[in-house]
Every structure is written in structure tokens, then in C-alpha cells.
Amino acid sequence: MQLLGSASILWLPLSAGLLVQLYKFFFEWIKRRDFDLRVLARAGGMPSSHAAMVCSLVSAIGYRTGPRSDLFALAALFALIVMYDATGVRQAAGKQAVVLNQILRELFSGQPVSEEELKELIGHSPTEVYVGALVGVLYTVLWFQLAS
């Protein structure tokens, strides 16, 4: 099966996600003047590395198998679920974390409370997902154009 043997189907999406995370790391480093490697593993932020990765996957599969293939349809549905989750469920969880952290700060002000707060930036705005999706598609299309 040639598709499974094609390394570009695997490494293009992985490298798209990694490049977006590296961009966010350097952007934060320059903006805050703080060298924080945790940014590389942090979810959320502009653009969405999840969207870049899944849209790169869809684009690579579409290029290799065509937009009418079952595999392309499966990848597209997978991408829609990931992007919906990033803007819906995970963003809502982040908003709830903000409120819960505020309640805990007010409730326990002046009293010892856990140092660890809930993660507040775990989801994406629709714009972050759209930009990430665009980055993933453009990255993959550009790679295939330069490779041919």
C-alpha cells in the first residue's frame, strides 16, 4: 500500500504542528523576554497547531489520493472533529477554569491555598483555528509544489 509507505503523509502534518509550536515559542520569548520551554507543549494560542496539523494531513491525503477518496473523507471528518473540539469543548473548559480560579482566589484570600491553578488557555478562538488551518494547508500545498 503506497500511501502508508509515504513518509510525507506522516511527517508533513507533524512538522506543520511543530513549526507552529516553535513560532509560538519564539513569539512568546521575544514578547515576554522569558525563555520558557513549556510553551512548546502548551495548548492554545495563535495559531492553532492542532488545526495546522490536521489540515496538513487532509491536504497531503487529498494530494496523494484525491478529494473523492474514502481516506480523504475520513481525514476531513477527523479534522472537523479536532477543530470543533479546539473551539468548543476545550475553549469552554478554559473559560470555566478562569472563573474557578477567580472563585478560589476570592474564597481563600488571606488563607493558604494550593499554588497550582487550573490551566486557562487550553482552547482556541475560531480565528486561531482558521489561521492554523490555513497555515497547515498552505504549508503542505507549498511543499508538494516545491517537491514536484
Has residue 109 been placed in a domain? no
The total domain count for the chain is 1
pLDDT tens digits, one per residue of 11-68: 999 999 999 999 888 888 888 887 877 777 777 778 998 999 999 999 999 999 999 9
Whether 118 is covered by a domain: the verdict is no
Contact 52, 20 (CB under 8 A): yes
C-alpha cell at 141: 500545498
For residues 142, 133, 5, 21, the Cα torsion angle rounded to the nearest 10 degrees is 90
Range of the domain at 58: 2-88+123-147
Confidence class for position 1, pLDDT limits 50, 70, 90: very low
Residue 46 lies in a domain: yes
Region label for 126, one of left (φ > 0), alpha (ψ between -120 and 50) or beta (otherwise): alpha
